Amino acid sequence: MKITRLSTAVIAGNFPWVLVKLETDTGHTGLGEAYWGAGVAELVHLAKPLVEGQDPRNINKIVEMMIRCMSGAGSQAGATVTAISGVEIALWDLLGRILDTPVATLFGGLFRDTIRVYADCHAGETPDPADYAKKAKEVVAEGFTAIKFDLDTPNPYTIDISDDPHPRRRWFEPFNRSIGSREMTWMVDVVRAVRDAVGPEVMVAMDAHWKYGVNDAIKLAQALEPFDLLWLEDPVPPENIEAQRHVTHSTRTPICTGENLYRKHGYRELIEKQAARIIAPDIPKMGGLAEAKKVADHADLYYIPIAPHNVASPIGTVAGSHVCAAINNFLVIEYHAHDVEWWSDLVNEAPPIEKGFIRIEDRPGHGLTLNEDVARAHLKPGSSFFGDEPHG
Ligand code: MG
The predicted-structure confidence for 289-341, as pLDDT tens digits, reads as follows 999 999 999 999 999 999 999 999 999 999 999 999 999 999 999 999 988 99
Task: State in Å: Cα 335 to ligand 1 middle.
Answer: 12
What pLDDT was estimated at residue 392? 46
CA angle 267, 269, 274 (to 5 degrees): 95
Domain 3-101+371-377 class in CATH:
alpha beta
Task: State in Å: Cα 311 to ligand 1 middle.
Answer: 10
Q: Where in the chain is the domain with CATH 3.30.390.10?
A: 3-101+371-377
119-135 in b/e burial notation, b at 16+ Cβ within 10 A?
bbbebbeeeebeebbbb
Task: State in Å: Cα 208 to ligand 1 middle.
Answer: 7
Burial of 350 (0-12, 13-18, 19+ CB in 10 A): exposed
Task: State in Å: Cα 250 to ligand 1 middle.
Answer: 21
Q: Which CATH fold would you assign to the domain 106-359?
A: TIM Barrel (3.20.20)
CA dihedral in degrees (225, 270, 43, 25; nearest 10)? Answer: -100
What pLDDT was estimated at residue 296? 98
What pLDDT was estimated at residue 73? 85
Task: State in Å: Cα 228 to ligand 1 middle.
Answer: 19
Segment 155-183 mean pLDDT: 71
Task: State in Å: Cα 276 to ligand 1 middle.
Answer: 14
Cβ of 260: how many Cβ atoms within 10 Å? 17
Segment 230-251 mean pLDDT: 97
Which residues are CB-contacts of 168 (< 8 A; sequence separation ≥ 6)? none
Task: State in Å: Cα 364 to ligand 1 middle.
Answer: 31
Helix residue ranges per DSSP H, 208-362: 214-223, 241-248, 263-272, 283-286, 289-300, 314-326
What pLDDT was estimated at residue 171? 47
Q: Where in the chain is the domain with CATH 3.20.20.120?
A: 106-359
Task: State in Å: Cα 235 to ligand 1 middle.
Answer: 10
Q: How confident is the model at residue 54 (pLDDT cuts 50, 70, 90)?
A: very high
Q: How confident is the model at residue 175 (pLDDT cuts 50, 70, 90)?
A: confident
Q: How confident is the model at residue 109 (pLDDT cuts 50, 70, 90)?
A: very high
Q: Which helix (H) or strand (E) holds 233?
A: strand 231-233
Tell me the pLDDT of the chain averaged across its residues: 94
Cβ of 386: how many Cβ atoms within 10 Å? 18
Confidence (pTM) = 0.95
Taken in order 248, 253, 259, 263, the sign of the CA dihedral is positive
Task: State in Å: Cα 13 to ligand 1 middle.
Answer: 18
Task: State in Å: Cα 261 to ligand 1 middle.
Answer: 12
What pLDDT was estimated at residue 174? 67
How are the residues of the chain apportioned to helix, strand and coil, as percentages rounded to the nearest 5? 40, 20, 40
Task: State in Å: Cα 176 to ligand 1 middle.
Answer: 20
Task: State in Å: Cα 259 to ligand 1 middle.
Answer: 7
Residue 19 predicted with pLDDT over 80: yes
Task: State in Å: Cα 8 to ligand 1 middle.
Answer: 27
